[in-house]
Amino acid sequence: MRERFYATAMELVDGDERMAVVIADIGEAGMRDALRAHPGRVINVGIREQLMIGVASGLALTGFRPIVHSFAPFAVERPFEMLKLDLGHNDLGAIVASVGASYDTAVYGRTHEAPEDVALMSALPGWRIYVPGHPSEADEMLRAAAVTDERVYLRLSEQSNRLARPITPGRLYVERRGCDATIIAAGPLLDATLEATADLDVTVLYMTTARPFDADTLHASLAGDLVVLVEPYQTGTSSGEVAAALADIPHRIAAIGVPNVEHRKYGTWQEHNAAHRLDARGIRARILRALSRNA
Partner 1 sequence: MTTTIPTLGYADLRGLMDLQLGDEKHAPSATSTLDVLWVLYDRILRIDPDRVDDPDRDRFLLSKGHGPMAYYAVLAAKGFIDVAALRTFGRYDSKLGHHPDRNLVPGIEISSGSLGHGLGIGVGIALGLRARRSSGRVFCLVGDAELDEGSNHEAIAFAGHVGLDNLVCVAVDNQSSSHGWPAGIAKRFALEGWSTATVDGRDHRALERAFTAEHRGRPHAVVAVVESKG
What is the SS3 assignment for 166? coil
When the beta carbons of 109 and 126 are compared against partner 1, the nearer one is 126
The single-letter code of the amino acid at 234 is: Q
51 is an interface residue for partner 1 by CB under 8 A: yes
When the beta carbons of 85 and 147 are compared against partner 1, the nearer one is 85
Phi/psi for 221 (5° steps) reads -110, 0
User: What is the DSSP-derived secondary structure letter of residue 262?
Assistant: -
Q: Which residue of 59, 142, 185, 287 would you call a contact of partner 1, by CB under 8 A?
A: 59
For residue 63, the minimal CB distance to partner 1 (Å) is 7
18 is an interface residue for partner 1 by CB under 8 A: no
Among the residue ranges 41-49, 138-146, 156-164, 221-229, the one whose residues contact partner 1 (CB under 8 A): 41-49
When the beta carbons of 88 and 170 are compared against partner 1, the nearer one is 88
Question: Exposed, middle or buried, 39 (CB in 10 Å: 0-12/13-18/19+)?
Answer: exposed
80 is an interface residue for partner 1 by CB under 8 A: no
For residue 86, the minimal CB distance to partner 1 (Å) is 6
For residue 96, the minimal CB distance to partner 1 (Å) is 14
In 10 A of CB 276, how many CB atoms? 20
Q: Which residue of 4, 11, 45, 239 would you call a contact of partner 1, by CB under 8 A?
A: 45
56 is an interface residue for partner 1 by CB under 8 A: yes
Binding residues for partner 1, total number by CB under 8 A: 29
What is the SS3 assignment for 52? helix
In 10 A of CB 123, how many CB atoms? 11
13 is an interface residue for partner 1 by CB under 8 A: no
What is the SS3 assignment for 27? coil
| Contact pattern from residue 171 through residue 200 relative to partner 1, giving x for each residue in contact according to CB under 8 A and a dash for the rest | ------------------------------
Among the residue ranges 89-97, 171-179, 255-263, 267-275, the one whose residues contact partner 1 (CB under 8 A): 89-97
Residue 12's nearest CA partner among 191, 143, 205 is: 143
User: What is the DSSP-derived secondary structure letter of residue 106?
Assistant: G
Q: What's the farthest any 2 CA atoms get from each other in the chain?
A: 63
Among the residue ranges 51-59, 146-154, 156-164, 268-276, the one whose residues contact partner 1 (CB under 8 A): 51-59
Up-side HSE of residue 7: CA atoms within 13 Å toward CB? Answer: 9
Among the residue ranges 59-67, 200-208, 217-225, 247-255, the one whose residues contact partner 1 (CB under 8 A): 59-67
In 10 A of CB 232, how many CB atoms? 30
Phi/psi for 67 (5° steps) reads -110, 125
For residue 112, the minimal CB distance to partner 1 (Å) is 21
How many helical (H) and strand (E) elements, i.e. helices and strands, does the chain have?
12, 12
Q: Which residues pair with 174 in a beta bridge?
A: 205
Residues that bind partner 1 (CB under 8 A): 20, 22, 40-41, 43, 45-46, 48, 50-51, 53-64, 81-82, 85-86, 89-91
